[in-house]
């Protein structure tokens, strides 16, 4: 690059930082008209400068920014490998599909094998089980952690059970001690969906480091964002190799984009029914996809990671303030609790209207919406009742009364870092207005 081009690039980046400060600063909260979202992206000049820096290189596909992002991400996750993908849903697809890889031999999951999962949550935790011809076994949820009912898991195990796939609900780790003990007892594989739980810990260790594979989402609602995007991570070199192949068209070659002959015998392979010497760049060992992240997304992720500790602290502080302010209304509301031995990285603040309360969830939610306070249900509620589940091959392990209660009576509100004391106090005031009146 010429000195003139380098000078111009530096000027563009300087102006980009200035533009970000002028055009993307958050306005002060006004209780008369400001909305209170449940989630959203929090960013500034560093992210925008890195994004433009990447764009000026015009590499477009995965490149040096992605290499940096994956390396930093693996360190944060206390994992050996982290591979970025184009979404958290794709991350879950790769994680479950990897366990069906023929390269695992007799350990590979096969169609018809059962996988224990939670009856409540987001569909793309469960969908890859179905997409791979496996059978989800739904177990009830436990309140007030909103994670799988550990006491019901043992009874869900049959000779066909091969794996456990669970999400850490709203950033609250599930009981990893009990789950991993059950997995070890029965020889089950474990996938941790950490899409809502980046930064959460159990017994001081990062979530995602207990099972064979963990997953993340970087959608704008999540702890950090790259727009669209996600990641799979593992400590196993075998799983890393499979995940990378599945992500990159199913190829057997492991050359990075733009590189050739990393293996030093590009034309020296004989695999499958192909002739000896067939170009290794075009040998496919898996039925794969193209699920890579772009370098521009990764450039944003690099700078978002630098904010992660602050983001988590803000989420925990907002959660604590909401909990303290709503505790006096426990006669009406089931408040959330952290799993024992867990250090959550809260994604949201879940609430359940108690059976017998003098109002419904929908009435409380309508009151909050009228005050511009956004809410969300606990994703798909009891997934068994979703329209797309009709005709699917699944099993229900026992009754699911808590999942049904979540479906009819649970919602959550935001704790994300852009919400400051003014937002939180406004929310608490609106809750108090409704709940005080309801108690009369």
Three-state secondary-structure class, residue 310: helix
Cα(70)–Cα(82) distance, rounded to whole angstroms? 5
Partners of 353 in beta bridges: 333
Three-state secondary-structure class, residue 255: coil
Strands (DSSP E) found in 25-70: none
Three-state secondary-structure class, residue 280: helix
Whether the Cβ atoms of residue 198 and residue 173 lie closer than 8 Å to each other: no
Q: Give the residue from 77, 150, 117 showing the smallest Cα distance to 340.
A: 150
H-helix segments, 24-44: none
Write phi, then psi, for 252 (nearest 5 degrees). -85, -25
Active site residues: 222
Nearest 5°: CA angle at 201, between 292 and 217? 20
Complete edge-to-edge strand list for the sheet that includes strand 342-343: 205-206, 201-202, 342-343
Cα(157)–Cα(153) distance, rounded to whole angstroms? 7
Q: Pairing state of beta strands 189-193 and 213-217?
A: parallel
153-165 core/surface letters (b: 16 or more CB in 10 A; e: else): beebbeeebbbbb
């Amino acid at each position: 690059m010429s000195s003139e081009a380098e000078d111009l690039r530096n000027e563009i980046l300087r102006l980009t930082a200035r533009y970000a400060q002028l055009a993307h600063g958050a306005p002060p909260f006004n209780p008369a008209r400001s909305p209170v979202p449940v989630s959203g992206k929090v960013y500034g000049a560093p992210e925008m400068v890195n994004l433009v820096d990447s764009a000026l290189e015009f590499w477009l596909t995965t490149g040096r920014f992605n290499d940096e992002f994956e390396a930093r991400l693996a360190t944060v996750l206390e994992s050996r490998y982290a591979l970025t993908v184009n979404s958290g849903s794709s991350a879950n697809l790769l994680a479950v599909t990897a366990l069906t890889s023929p390269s695992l031999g007799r350990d590979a999951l096969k169609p018809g094998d059962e996988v224990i999962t939670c009856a409540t949550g987001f569909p793309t935790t469960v969908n890859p089980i179905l997409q791979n011809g496996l059978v989800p076994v739904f177990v009830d949820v436990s309140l007030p952690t909103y994670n799988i009912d550990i006491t019901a898991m043992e009874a869900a195990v049959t000779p066909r059970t091969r794996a456990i796939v669970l999400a850490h609900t709203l950033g609250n780790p599930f009981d990893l001690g009990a789950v991993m003990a059950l997995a070890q007892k029965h020889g089950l594989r474990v996938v941790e969906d950490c899409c809502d739980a980046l930064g959460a810990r159990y017994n001081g260790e990062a979530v995602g480091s207990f099972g064979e594979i963990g997953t993340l989402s970087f959608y704008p609602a999540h702890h950090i964002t790259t727009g669209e995007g996600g990641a799979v991570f593992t400590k196993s070199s075998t799983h890393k190799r499979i995940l990378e192949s599945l992500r990159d068209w199913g190829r057997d070659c492991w050359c990075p984009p733009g590189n050739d002959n990393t293996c030093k015998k590009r034309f020296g392979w004989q695999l499958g029914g192909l002739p000896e010497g067939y170009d290794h760049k075009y040998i496919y060992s898996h039925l794969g996809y193209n699920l890579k992240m772009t370098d521009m997304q990764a450039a944003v992720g690099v700078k978002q990671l630098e904010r992660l500790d602050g983001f988590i602290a803000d989420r925990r502080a907002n959660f604590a303030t909401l909990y303290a302010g709503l505790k006096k209304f426990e006669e009406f509301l089931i408040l959330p609790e952290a799993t024992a031995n867990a250090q959550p990285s809260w994604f949201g603040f879940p609430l359940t209207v108690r059976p017998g309360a003098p109002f419904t969830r929908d009435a409380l939610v309508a009151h909050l919406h009228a005050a511009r306070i956004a809410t969300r249900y606990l994703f798909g509620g009891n997934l068994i009742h979703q329209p797309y589940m009709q005709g699917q091959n699944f099993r229900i392990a026992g009754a699911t009364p808590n999942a049904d209660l979540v479906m009819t009576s649970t919602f959550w509100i935001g704790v994300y870092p852009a919400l400051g004391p003014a937002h939180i106090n406004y929310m608490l005031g609106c809750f108090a207005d409704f709940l005080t009146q309801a108690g009369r």
